[in-house]
A and B are shown apart, each in its own frame.
Chain A
Amino acid sequence: MKLKNKIIGGAITTASALSVVLIIAIIIVILVVTIIGGKEKISWEFLTAFPRDGMMKGGIFPAIYGTALLVIIMSIAAVPFGTITAIYLSEYAHEKSWLAQTIRFAVRTLATVPSIIFGLFGLGFFVQFVGAGMDNWFLGGQLKWAQPNLLWGSLTMALLTLPVVIVSVEEAIRTVPRELREASLALGATKWQTIKKVVIPGSISGIMTGTILAVSRGAGEVAPILFTGAAYSLATLPTSVSDQFMNLGYHIYVMSTQSSNVDQTLPIQFATTLVLLMLTFTLNLAAVLIRSSLRRRVK
């Protein structure tokens, strides 16, 4: 009996340990394969040049540039709104009130809505409704906003990343010690003053983590921008928010599945994937490090 117990126990412990090893091995394999496949192609020229000869040569600068613009506009929209919602949830709302619970439920739902639905929503709401409305009202029916562009793509992405920001900012706000708030209030500061001078500065690292995670998510998602602004190949860089843009993830997708010469462009595809993976991986790593130092502070 004892021996049998030991064997089962050993088996379960080993199996669970192996699962962890397997997951980490998968992470390492993906990283290594991408690095091996893409490292030869990576060069300064690749990062800063336009594609040439029908994507066969040259670089991916427009895609990097478009992704950067996308995440910048997205952050401008998502970070303030996300932070304010987090402040409301942790400072103003009563934990048990139906309103706070509904907002929490909405945030969690938003976090689990498939990204393609955001794409559909961006197309139906921003492009077809808001864009068409703007064209009718301001431009007299001239077609400018009622088509996919950088602004609509970024706003769609902002909705997708909103819960990311909310969750990490709220987590950080909760680490601001109660005593600090009480001290501030006891000194006569009002609630808003306390929030402005004590809570927000105290949770700045959380806001940073939230932004970083949102940027990393936004840089990697493709489905939301499939029909709200991404383009495969553009001759010029986007100059205004009403232009279409190129995007790293979309570039990988089109090149690997829909281009006519997949085999010839394979190194370029691997290199593009490497750039995107390194970008998101570094951002995530930074967020994890900031977050773990934050958690240590609490303890």
Chain B
Amino acid sequence: MLPFTFKSSLMNPDLAKNKFLFTADSLKKKFRLSEFLSEKIITSVAFLSIAVIILIFVFVFRESLPAFKPRVKHNIEKTSSTGNKPESYGSSDSAGALQKPESYSGAEPAAANKPESYGSVKDTSVSAGEVNPDSEFVAKDNNNDEGTLGSLFSNEWYPVSENPRYGLIPLLIGTFKVTLIAMLFAAPIAILAALFSSCFAAPWLREWIKPAIELLAGFPSVVIGFFALMVMATVLQNLFGYETRLNSFVGGIAMALASIPIIFTITEDALTAIPATFTEASLALGASKWQTAVFVILPAATPGIFAAVLLGVGRVFGETMIALMATGNAALSGLNPFESVRTLAATIGAEMAEVVFGDMHYGILFLIGSLLFIFNFSINAIAEFYVKGKLVKRIQGR
């Protein structure tokens, strides 16, 4: 068989009768422009999500650079050395323009007329200044470098003052407090519900439970926040009789509502992914249904459940609207669950609208954003690689 007989055997009628009808060459894919282009376009579009992640990294960090910029010292009018006013800012009763509006019960009319958008930043910071003696220093923030970067680890979050301090500690404590409370409520409920749905419920019931709980995932967080602010806060206050109406307890429960569907769905998937052989073996050995569920299925699925709780934590950690509406937004660093708190995400949401571009405060807010992003990214990475790998190994019995 000489090479030339193979060539274009399909084209040539004589050669087509040859028994070597299909040859290496004739079977080769023909080049088609549309095919080529579509494949390339599809591939490049698929890169978009990777690109977005990288861009988020780059830009959120880039904008946080002003926080690190060394500043020239201005010695102009540091009228009062720290002390009197700024110190009291942190406590909610004498809160400044930033903290008042969030608490519904004590909403102060003047401070409440907040900007709709940061487009009008300058006007509002001035008008706020007329209202609140504290914030007349807003405009001077730029000149101040005292107690800035160094104060990141201090105990005071007091960004709008003549001597701004950006201590992240109260915000971190607030965020962890809310997250802990939310998880204490959400995790047991969601895991038990998933256990019921995957182990105890009849198939027809299961068909109903899953979509029903997924509906809760579809509730916008602003609606849950509104519900918490208007209804839950009052009910819980009457129930427990604590002082501050909006606090980390209310916020935590509201956020539990937001994270229950996530934990439920992932746990349910993990539980259903356990092979039927596990159940069958256990039942065959004489274990009852609940013993199988608790001692066989649940332990086998722990990595998946762990992942579910992790992702729930991630959701609560970054939740903004519920935190803004239901936690009271005072940067207190106490451990009392019935105190108002200010979470990291809520701080960004509340203050970004009022900062001057490129100044320290702006940079710090983006820095908080980077923190949130890194935290969420790591949580997702852990859930993805560590936990899922472990789950697969365990099920395959290796």
A residues sitting closer than 8 Å to B (CB atoms) are 5, 8-9, 12-13, 15-20, 22-24, 26-27, 30, 33-34, 37, 81, 84-85, 87-89, 92-93, 102-103, 105-110, 112-121, 123-125, 128-129, 147-148, 159, 162-163, 166, 190-192, 195, 213, 216-217, 219-223, 226-227, 229-233, 244, 249-250, 252-254, 256-262, 266, 269-270, 273, 276-277, 280-281, 283-285, 288, 291-292
Top 10 A-B pairs ranked by shortest CB distance? A114-B318, A220-B220, A284-B218, A232-B116, A16-B196, A260-B109, A88-B46, A9-B290, A19-B192, A19-B193
Task: With a 10 A CB-CB cut-off, give which of B42, B319, B369 has the most chain A CB atoms.
Answer: B42
For B326, give the chain A residue with the smallest CB separation. A257
Q: Indicate whether A258 sits within 8 Å of B345 (C-beta atoms), given known contacts A103-B46, A107-B49, A192-B35.
A: no
Contacts of B102 in A (CB 8 A): 257-258
Q: Is the CB of A12 within 8 A of B384?
A: no
- Could you say which of B50, B62, B211, B291 contacts A292, with CB atoms under 8 Å apart? B211
- Could you say which of B46, B192, B229, B377 contacts A15, with CB atoms under 8 Å apart? B192
Decide if the interface of chain B is mainly helix, strand, loop or mixed: helix
Give the shortest distance, in Å, between B28 (CB) and chain A (any CB): 14
Contacts of B59 in A (CB 8 A): 121, 124-125, 129
> Of B8-16, B159-167, B309-317, B330-338, which binds chain A?
B309-317
Bound-complex Cα distance A254 to B314 (A)? 26
Bound-complex Cα distance A220 to B320 (A)? 13
Q: Is B240 interfacial (CB 8 A cutoff)?
A: no
Bound-complex Cα distance A254 to B218 (A)? 21
28 contacts between A and B (CB under 8 A): A92-B42, A103-B49, A106-B52, A109-B380, A112-B311, A113-B56, A113-B318, A115-B221, A116-B348, A116-B369, A116-B372, A119-B348, A119-B349, A159-B52, A163-B49, A220-B220, A220-B222, A223-B321, A244-B116, A252-B226, A253-B225, A256-B226, A257-B101, A258-B107, A258-B112, A276-B220, A276-B223, A292-B211
Contacts of B32 in A (CB 8 A): 190
Q: Is the CB of B220 within 8 A of A256?
A: no
Contacts of A115 in B (CB 8 A): 221, 318, 320
Give the shortest distance, in Å, between A164 (CB) and chain B (any CB): 11
User: What mask results when residues 96 to 128 of chain B are scored 1 for a CB within 8 Å of chain A, else 0?
Assistant: 000001101001011011101111000000000
Q: Is the CB of B222 within 8 A of A124?
A: no
Q: Is the CB of B196 within 8 A of A277?
A: no
Q: Is the CB of B264 within 8 A of A87?
A: no
Contacts of A258 in B (CB 8 A): 101-102, 107, 112-114
Interface residues on B, range: 35 or more
Bound-complex Cα distance A268 to B340 (A)? 27
Give the shortest distance, in Å, between A112 (CB) and chain B (any CB): 5
For B369, give the chain A residue with the smallest CB separation. A120
Q: Is B179 interfacial (CB 8 A cutoff)?
A: no
Q: Indicate whether A220 sits within 8 Å of B223 (C-beta atoms), given known contacts A85-B48, A112-B379, A258-B101.
A: yes
Bound-complex Cα distance A13 to B101 (A)? 45
- Could you say which of A93, A121, A231, A276 contacts B46, with CB atoms under 8 Å apart? A93
